Each structure stands twice: as structure tokens, then as C-alpha cells.
Amino acid sequence: MSRWILAIGLVSQVSVGCAAEVVDESAIDNEADTEDEEQKADGITYPVGSYDGIAGTAGDFTRLVLMTDKTFHREQQVLCVTAPCNPIGKDGTYKFTKSTTTSKKYLRFYAKDGADLGRYAWTLSSGGKLKLTPTDGRPAFSLAQAKSAWCSAATQCKVQNLAQPKCPGKWQCTSNVCDFSECAAPTSNACEKAGGACVGLTPTNCKDGEVGDATKYSCGGPIGVMCCLPKTGAPVCDKVGTSTEGWYWPDGGKICLAPCKGTTAKCDAVGSRSEGWYAEGKGCLGANLIGWDDCDSSK
């Protein structure tokens, strides 16, 4: 009978006192699979970003981070005899595969040296709950979308499909948590702070933009100038039915990938720090938020 042995502290050796975990051989999944190259085109939301384990036992993942560059970070619970028993962390690459005979979809993990770290059948609920079933006969376990994205470097925040403000700023990684810096003011006057430009007071100088209210978007006092703001608009769901389906700004800039077909963006949470564009259940990462923005045109 095949068995899995979980080590305490080390993967490659078994510590004295650690019992072996018995595998349910009747649950072993031997289905053939092939790489799933049509992600999004089949209308299914694929897991991406940071997930936290739910009531895990030995062998389950306490954390899983799937990044859009096909790298991962995961932490796996060990069988504990004497505390502390910290989860074992691993980094490497992953790929999505699918069964050649059924509708099952799989996640395959590989170490940095290319070693196979196992295959897991997966399902993702609309609430962000990710269920993983090891194909070697061990019990299934679940993870939930994390409230805060995990990171070891700021570059990992850029590849988790996170919503971010439409303003100057950058991702930071503080205490293993992704955080977007405060929107920095690029220049000194109100017009330029809002992303506009102070131009001569003639109609042709702002033909590709919108003239801002002088009382709100001041250019600092010079006579004969006006504030030309870039044209704004709600995010649109674009590239429907392709691997790049998602939310985009009207100028074509990508916000995030999402299965958003048939959904429109709505300006909500007006007047608060959370003001921005929302889509019910079809925003970034399967949540409502698409992106923060000063979107209320009535202000």
C-alpha cells in the first residue's frame, strides 16, 4: 500500500515519532491530463492571487499564492509532535491542466529544479473558495481568498491581478503583505495634481480632453490659462471570450482579467476612500471592486 510521510521541519527525512499518513487508494486519480491552454475562453474563472487555508490538517496548504507569471508560493502544514511546527514553504512554477476524458481541471506544481510536486484537481466557488483534491488519494482541503495579498517582494504584487488606484503610486511589500502607496501628487497645482495640464485659453488647446472647473482645478493664478483634463469614463468589459477578457479603461489600459461578459461598471462608495468602479461579483479577483477612482461626475 502506498503511503505519504510528512516530516517535521524537513521534507526529505522523517523525524522519530511522526506517524505515516495512510492513503485512500480507492480515491487515487489516474486520469490522463493535458495542458489547459484555453483559459478564460471556456467562461471559467481560474484561481489567481493569495489564498489562506481553512482548518487545515497535516499535508494541507496553509497558504497558496498563484501568480500570473506562472510562479507560486505555498506553505504546507506538517505533522506536529513537539511545537513549534511551522509550515514548510515552497516556491516554484505551476500550470493548469485538464482531463482528456472528463471535465476535471488540475493544478500541477513544480519545484525550481523542475521536480514534480504533485497534481491537484481544483474547483473555485463564486465566493472565492478554492477546493484542492490531491490525486494521490489524500483527502481534499479548501482555501479562501486572502484579505491581504502575500508577497516576499513588491514585484510579486504586480502579478496577482490586484486592483489598484488610477493614480501615481507603486506597490510595496511590507511584512509579507502587498500595499499600494498613497497616491502621490505629481506636481504643485490642483490641475496637475488631478492629471491635467495647464494650457492657453483657446478651444483648440483641449480638443482631446475636458476643460476642468477653474474653481476646483486651479492652475495657480496665471491669467489666460485653463486646465485641460484627460477624458474619463467607466471601465469597459473587453476582449470577451479570449484569454485576455477583463476590465479595461476607455483608453485601452488594462485593469485586470475577469470573466465580465454582460456586466457594466458602476461608480459606487462616492465620497469615501473606497470610491471607485464596481461590478457585482465580476470585478477583479471575483469580487465587486474593479478599481478605485474619483469617478463621481457630479462633484
> Residue 7 pLDDT > 50, yes or no?
no
The whole-chain average pLDDT of the chain stands at: 82
Range picked from 60-69, 158-167, 188-197, 279-288 for highest mean pLDDT: 60-69
DSSP state of 192: H
Report the sign of the C-alpha dihedral through residues 44, 50, 54, 59, in that order. Answer: positive
Taking phi over 0 as left and psi of -120 to 50 as alpha, with beta for the rest, 249 belongs to beta
The phi, psi pair for 180, rounded to 5°, reads -90, 130
Q: Which comes out higher in pLDDT, residue 227 or 12? A: 227
Single-letter residue type at 254: K
d(CA 61, CA 159): 21
In contact, 99 and 75? CB cutoff 8 Å: no
* Diameter of the chain measured on Cα atoms: 86
What does each C-alpha distance from 174 to 2, 46, 152, 154, 168 come to in angstroms?
42, 27, 8, 8, 19
Per-residue pLDDT band at 13 (split at 50, 70, 90): very low
d(CA 71, CA 91): 7
Measuring CA to CA, which residue among 281, 285, 277, 238 is closest to residue 246? 238
The 3-state DSSP class for residue 35 equals: strand
For position 166, what pLDDT does the model report?
65
pLDDT digits (tens, 9 = 90+) for 136-162: 999 999 999 998 999 999 999 999 988
For position 163, what pLDDT does the model report?
81
For position 224, what pLDDT does the model report?
78
pLDDT digits (tens, 9 = 90+) for 97-141: 999 999 999 999 999 999 999 999 999 987 789 999 999 999 999
Measuring CA to CA, which residue among 135, 133, 177 is closest to residue 154? 177
Q: Which comes out higher in pLDDT, residue 187 or 126? A: 126
Give the gyration radius of the chain's Cα atoms.
Answer: 24
Q: What is the pTM of this model?
A: 0.59
